[in-house]
Amino acid sequence: MITEEYFAEHGAIRREVVVSKQRRFVSRIEDISSLDNGSDPWERWWRSYLRGARPTPEGRQIGTLSMVDVFCGCGGLTLGIQEAGRAVGLRPLVRLALDIDRGALDVYETNFAPQEALAADAGSVVDFKIVGWRGAAEFAYSPVAVHPSLRAARGCVDVVVAGPPCEGHSNLNNRTRRADPRNLLYLDAIAIGVAIDAPTIIVENVPDVVNDHSGVVDTAVALLEQCGFSTTRAVLRADELGLPQRRNRFFLVASRAGKVDLEQLVRSFARNGTTLRWAIEDLVDTDADPLMDYVPRLSSENRKRIDYLFDNELYDLPNHMRPACHRNGHTYPSVYGRLRWDEPAATITTGFMTPGRGRFIHPTRRRPLTPREAARIQGFPEWFRFRGGDDRLPKKNALAKWIGDAVPPLLGYVAGFAGLGPLIEERYSIVAS
């Protein structure tokens, strides 16, 4: 079982990732957390990371981690898996990033410098046909990479990562939940991984993907196992892994090299939850960046609602202060809610700058969260840039979408070890304990 340990040192924190009884991978990070020396070294490490410090691996690298990223968005999942790779001595390299959102791809290119970024529909780059469904599913013929860029990656990739659009599975989507054709994009990611002979495939989505009307997860597992993969799956809960946010994501990890049980791995990485104060207390009055420190203008009604919460020391808005459509009963009590310093945040969504779309009002300031605060809660470090290469300011709704839709990198970090463990065991003769 892969585990990790953290040790405080003078001015730094040391992390040791234990892959086997014989092999430990060591990294250091400058301790800029501002937490006292009695604090948990794990908390000091990750707070320093969020505030901008970068880990430095000790010892030589053992190899390269070559990736293809499908439905890449701005790269939250990639960031986490790359950090897992660095933690075990692998130098990350993105051969191909694919997303239909050109703006998100620009942000991705700024942060990861992929060899190629392709603005395209995932279904247009691979040809495949499925016969049967759920446990009886199989490919009618081996999936074929039809785009030249994807064909060029065949046999040269260690891991395919994918975060297919999750709106069709989300409980927020009451109209088409679990019967949305977008849900089938999940299988595009599987077909792409098989088409380019990737030894590892990691796919994430919302937990309700397992309840999809079409059975996409069971179908994906059947297809993968037919192609020689071992699979493991689990729901990763951000607050149980140390992030100050109640956000759950479902991960499916497939490897041709063997299996590290993801649920067992999650238990070994579990941490006491951190708080909103731990994550963003240093950002309370920051206004240096017109993009990331932007505070949206509020309607007069929303200003009154926020004032009412603070003037009456409340965290939930009473019905008489809500819009008329809420006053006779509603199912979203957190809407117009105020966050608490000493608890995790609710799930950060694309509506985090709008009080009427969730519990997004700052604990001590009469405003919603800023993009910088939301990104920090998601687990993005200070050095991550939400701009394209030309440094133009993106539109605010695009920025909110990239941040709110992103996979918290820490979840990708943990799930990444389930895929990388068998890979390095096979490739570098490291026998897992």
Nearest-angstrom CA–CA distance, 206 and 222: 20
Dihedral sign computed on CA atoms, order 356, 360, 365, 367:
negative
Distance (Å, rounded) from C-alpha 348 to C-alpha 400? 10
User: Phi and psi at residue 52, in whole multiples of 5°?
Assistant: 125, -5
Could you say which of 72, 74, 156, 166 is catalytic?
A: 166
Q: Which residues pair with 29 in a beta bridge?
A: 13
State the residue for tokens 């981690």.
65
Which backbone phi and psi does 259 adopt, to 5 degrees?
A: -145, 135
- Residue 166: active-site member: yes
Give CA 209 to chain center in angstroms.
Answer: 16
Radius of gyration for the chain, computed over Cα atoms and rounded to the nearest angstrom: 22
Q: Give the pairing type, strands 3-9 and 12-18.
A: antiparallel
Contact indicator for 52, 382 with CB cutoff of 8 Å: yes
Give the separation between CA 284 and CA 364, rounded to whole angstroms: 8
Rounded to 10°, the helix 262-269/409-427 angle is 120
Measure the CA–CA gap between 378 and 244, rounded to whole angstroms: 8
Q: What is the DSSP string of 163-205?
A: ----TTT-TT-TTTTT--GGGGHHHHHHHHHHHTT-SEEEEEE
Select from 230, 261, 258 the least CA-distant residue to 427: 258
Can you read off the two tokens belonging to residue 347? 């799930």
Quick one: CA dihedral 314, 315, 316, 321, positive or negative? positive
With contact defined as beta carbons under 8 Å apart, do 168 and 176 qualify?
yes
Indicate which residues carry an active-site annotation.
Answer: 166
